[in-house]
Amino acid sequence: MCKNKSVKGLEKVNIKIYNESCIACNVGKATRTSLKKNYVYKRVTKSVLDKVHMDLWGPAPVNSLGGSKYFLSIIDDFSRKIDVFTLKSKSEVFSIFKEYLSRVQRELGRKLKSVRTDNGMEFCHKDFETFLRDLGIKIERTSFYTPELNGIAERFNRSSMEAVRTMLQDSGLQPRFWAEALHAYVHTKNRCSHKLTEGKTPMEIWSGHKPSIRHCRTFGSLAYVYVPTVNRNKLQPKAKIGILVGYAVNRRGYRVWLPKERKVVESIHVKINETKNGVKTLFGEVKHYGYAIYQLDQNLNNDSDCRAQDEKYSSPKTPTSLDISTWIRLEKPRKKSKRMDVYYYPPSKERLRSVNDVKMYCEKNKLEFDPNQFNFKPTTTNTRFVEKSECDNETNSDSVDEASFVNDIFQHEIYMTEIPKTFKETQISPDKEKWDEAMSEEIKLMQNRKVWDLVEPKSNMKVLGCRWVYNIKHDEKNNVKKYKSRLVAQGFKERPGVDFTDVFAPLVNFDIIKFLFVLLVCILGWNHCQIDVKGAYLYGNLDIPIYMQQHEGFAVKGCEHYVCRLHKSIYGLHQSGRQWNIELSEILFGLVDFIKMSCVMVYILKVIVFYWYM
């Protein structure tokens, strides 16, 4: 400017220019260090197991079929072979890694040298670090807020989720099949060549043999699973119809989802029709579940490296605004009344029956609650219909079709309901509150029947274990009627001749009894009713002392080490059926003839008179 006289008042002076920048410039103009792509993704190892890249993805917006929320990816740097493991909680990472390490080291006869992870708490755990150091495995961590340094694992997370979304959309399966789609994708990915592996597939570099892809089939295709002769009679079909959801894990074969049985089976005797979509064939049309999986990509942009810092210094989140444009409003008529029940369904498919249910849902998910957005007053009297939320003022045909489609989803939800197998699974289930209520009801029933007393254990006691068994009861229209929980003793640990002697109890074929009884009622014009004894076995008295551990999740505070001394024949014991039969027989044989009417039997207990019609 001085030389060219661009401005006035600037005299020519000799100014000494220093190459060093000032502190203010360094502070005000700081930028992130440029990371070259080759530095992040290039292969720097010379053999398998020289280095593995690990990362944890999750939580998923919906649980998988097995109740998993996360998946752990482990990628070998040299071969680019991928292993994925679905997890229910972050605490499982350490145990899963130990299983992986022992398996691959025995499989290849080599030792793992280095592990690269981000700064997530699951990888920074003291036990995890100590385990690696004791084995001489080098730990490489990324810098904070720099996920690029773990780019191989991060890039896989993105690619895998893109593949999962595509596979679910194309197949029409529900979002809870994300884990099945993920494993199917990884199975195929490991058998495809990589640009950094000189045209070889990861499986070939890993094992030294070229893999076969003759068995690969289209995800979501219609499948027919052969039924062994021992599981069917001569007139039953020889195959079951299902949907292909992947490949068997520890055996040759395929994984097929059977909608009617609500389970995944593995079999090699499967016939697959790739020209037909399984969902379209079984349910009429392919459903695209965009309303429920739109959140899957939110995890891809998270700074997973900063989880340790975020969990330590994060401030409480303020409630976010509630948008019910994706919610579904359902009006359902009652069976024997013209009244209508109104339900709201958020994207999680949780049924909300009242304003209080909506309020609790908002508090649980940290959402702002506005009661004016919800209308629980029915707009019709005798017809069932589904409509979009009232906040959506557009009533075009597309919205009606989408609402009808979502109603169809809930009608088929019976096939997708996951029944937990353990107490821990109920605590991470979307229906946790309902399972807790069912278990509390079972415990209350046992307390009222005085099934046990708590006693201090002794060294000579044989203490049985116990577990929870869960089930869901449905009505004649396949709607969920009741969540059922039952506490069962581990009777297989009982000692014959010590804990029990006789176990015989007479049994009848109820189908024949019901048929004959209904036949007599119709011919003779009788009036009849049917009763069910709730917790029947709990009426039976035990003649031999049995001790059982306290039930999981309901141990008495301050007496956790105590055991239950059983007085009643709890479910699961060998002698329970016999003890209930003895108790019932004493009551039935106590019936006597009614003097005025010989066809009526009477049983008098204090002031209560029971009538038994012969």
Using one digit for the tens of pLDDT, what is the confidence trace for 396-420?
433 333 334 334 444 434 334 568 8
Shared domain for 454 and 497, answered yes or no, is yes
Residue with structure tokens 């053999």? 47
The residue-averaged pLDDT of 576-597 equals 69
Range with lowest mean pLDDT among 69-78, 308-317, 465-474: 308-317
Q: Do residues 241 and 197 both lie within one domain?
A: no
User: How do beta strands 385-388 and 466-474 pair?
Assistant: unpaired
Collapse the DSSP code of 415 into the 3-class scheme (helix H, G, I; strand E, B; otherwise coil) and give the result. Answer: helix
Above 80 in pLDDT, residue 529?
no
Instruction: For residues 71 and 174, state if they share a domain.
Output: yes
Q: In this predicted model, which residue has the larger pLDDT, 130 or 409?
A: 130
Closest CA to 255 of 419, 75, 64: 64
pLDDT at 156: 92
CA–CA distance from 118 to each of 95, 205, 253 (Å)? 18, 26, 36
pLDDT tier at 177, thresholds 50, 70, 90: very high
Q: How far apart, in whole angstroms, are the C-alpha atoms of residue 81 and residue 189?
A: 9
Least Cα distance to 301 among 161, 142, 179 occurs for: 161
16 located within any domain: no
- 201 and 230, same domain (yes or no): no
Q: Could you tell me which of 141, 55, 38, 39 has the C-alpha nearest to residue 90?
A: 55
Question: How far is the C-alpha of 583 from the C-alpha of 588, rounded, in Å?
Answer: 9
Amino acid at 26: N
Greater confidence, 465 or 580? 465
435: Cβ contacts below 8 Å, ≥ 6 apart: 420, 426, 429, 470, 483, 485
Contacts of residue 420, defined as CB under 8 A and 6 or more positions apart, other chains included, come to 67, 426, 429, 435, 470
Does 76 share its domain with 196? yes
Q: Are strands 385-388 and 340-345 parallel, antiparallel or unpaired?
A: unpaired
Determine the Cα–Cα distance for residues 580 and 610; give it in Å rounded to an integer.
19
CATH of the domain at 168: 3.30.420.10
Cα separation, 19 vs 288, whole angstroms: 61
Q: Does residue 94 carry a pLDDT above 90?
A: yes
First to last CA, the chain: 119
pLDDT number for residue 528: 74
Which residue range is the domain that position 68 belongs to?
A: 51-207
Same-domain pairing of 338 and 262 = no
Tell me the residue type at 429. S
In-domain check, residue 314: no
> At 598, is the pLDDT very low, low, confident or very high (cuts 50, 70, 90)?
very low
Do residue 200 and residue 243 come from a single domain?
no
Q: What is the pLDDT of residue 393?
A: 39
pLDDT of res. 348? 64
Give the torsion sign (CA, 408, 409, 413, 416). Answer: positive
Going by C-alpha positions, the residue among 459, 476, 451 that lies closest to residue 579 is 451
> What does the mean pLDDT of the chain come to?
78
Number of domains the chain contains: 4
Q: Does 442 share its domain with 580?
A: yes
User: What 3-state class would DSSP assign to 207?
Assistant: helix
In a domain, 22, yes or no: no
Note the pLDDT tens digit of each residue in 481-521: 888 898 988 888 888 888 888 877 777 777 887 788 788 88
Contact 404, 388 (CB under 8 A): no
With CA atoms as reference, report the closest residue to 85 among 75, 77, 219: 75
Give the model's pLDDT for residue 298. 34
Residue at 99: amino acid letter:
E
Q: Work out whether strand 52-57 and strand 70-76 pair parallel, antiparallel, or are unpaired.
A: antiparallel
* Span of 397-401, 460-464, 553-557, 585-589 with lowest mean pLDDT: 397-401
Per residue in 429-455, pLDDT tens? 778 888 889 999 988 888 888 888 898
Nearest Cα to Cα of residue 132 among 113, 145, 150: 113
Residue 426 in this model has a pLDDT that exceeds 60: yes
Please report, to the nearest 10 degrees, the dihedral formed by the alpha carbons of residues 73, 77, 79, 82 taken in order: 0
Residue 559 belongs to a domain: yes
What gap in Å lies between CA 489 and CA 575, rounded to an integer?
Answer: 12
- Secondary structure tally for the chain: helices H, strands E: 16, 22
Q: Are residues 446 and 503 in the same domain?
A: yes
Domain with residue 348: its CATH number is: 3.30.890.10
Residue 579 belongs to some domain of the structure: yes
Residue 416: inside a domain: no
Least confident of 120-129, 400-409, 527-536, 601-610: 400-409
Q: Which of 207, 229, 251 is the last residue of a domain?
A: 207
d(CA 149, CA 50): 17
pLDDT at 18: 60
Task: Say if residue 471 is in the same domain as residue 521.
Answer: yes
pLDDT of the residue at 575: 83
pLDDT at position 13 is 60
Q: Which two tokens stand for residue 592?
A: 């006597």
Q: What is the DSSP letter of 317?
A: P
Highest mean pLDDT among 10-14, 277-281, 399-403: 277-281
Which residues in 465-508 belong to E strands, given as ranges?
466-474, 480-489
Same domain, 427 and 572: yes
Same domain, 121 and 170: yes
Band of the pLDDT at 11, cuts 50, 70, 90? low
Model pLDDT for residues 373-397, shown as the tens digit of each residue:
777 777 655 443 333 333 333 334 3
